[in-house]
Amino acid sequence: MASLQKRGNDSWLLVVEAGIGADGKRIRRTKTIKAKGIREARKLLAEFETEVEAGHYIAPEKMTFAAFVEEWKEKYAESELGIKTLDIYLRFLKNRILPVFGHMRLDKIQPFHIVNFISDLGKEGSRQDGKNGKLSSGTIQYIHRILKNILNKAQDWRLLKNNPAAEIQIPKVKRKEIEVYDEDEVHCCSNY
């Protein structure tokens, strides 16, 4: 059973019954949506009811980033990304991103959290390979791209209203300057 309640201008509350729980209480799934009129709201209610009945609805307020990454991996990454790309993404997720964001609720991740994360990656001692120094700007950009892509998918699937990583300024990639031989050095060395 499903119902619809008007909340305000263009705002509607969708309620879908999802059976009876082990404790004997009814399980209800709710979702607030924006719709221009009752016809559009009813259409969205029907879609929501189908989603709940099929078991595909996930309440965003209860989902952690780590749980979303599992959904993202199963429903998107394994079929859409190349094997090597997925391997690199999963390695960065395991070693860099999940230790920081994994425990957080998906809807509680803010741009400032991401700014702090990016800043920490650029600090001395952030390397995990035992070498001194900090991560290269290219690696930091790549890690940000992974996080941004995953959060984009959460936005596409309407678990997030906005992607908190979308507007973050990240450091520009700094290229190492290459030293090349001049003509005298080329002639000098070619005589050997």
List the domain boundaries for the chain: 2-57, 62-156
**At 135, which helix (H) or strand (E)?**
none
The pLDDT score that the predictor gives to residue 58 is 63
Residues in CB range of 173: below 8 A, 6 or more apart: 137, 138, 141
* pLDDT tens by residue, 128-148: 877 888 888 889 999 999 999
| Percent above pLDDT 70 for the chain | 89
- In single-letter form, the type of residue at position 52 comes to V
pLDDT at 7 over 60: yes
pTM of this prediction exceeds 0.95:
no
pLDDT at 157 over 70: yes
Residue 22's φ and ψ, nearest 5 degrees, are: -65, -25
Q: DSSP letters along 135-155, please? A: --HHHHHHHHHHHHHHHHHHH
For the segment(s) 62-156, the CATH number from 1.10.150.130, 3.90.190.20, 3.90.1640.10, 3.30.200.20 is: 1.10.150.130
The pLDDT score that the predictor gives to residue 100 is 94
Distance between CA atoms of 155 and 61, rounded to whole angstroms?
14
Average pLDDT rounded to a whole number, residues 33-38:
86
Instruction: Retrieve residue 50's tokens.
Output: 């189908």
Average pLDDT rounded to a whole number, residues 45-57:
77
User: Distance between alpha carbon 102 and the CA centroid of its chain, in Å?
Assistant: 11
Q: By the 8 A CB rule, do 148 and 156 touch? A: no
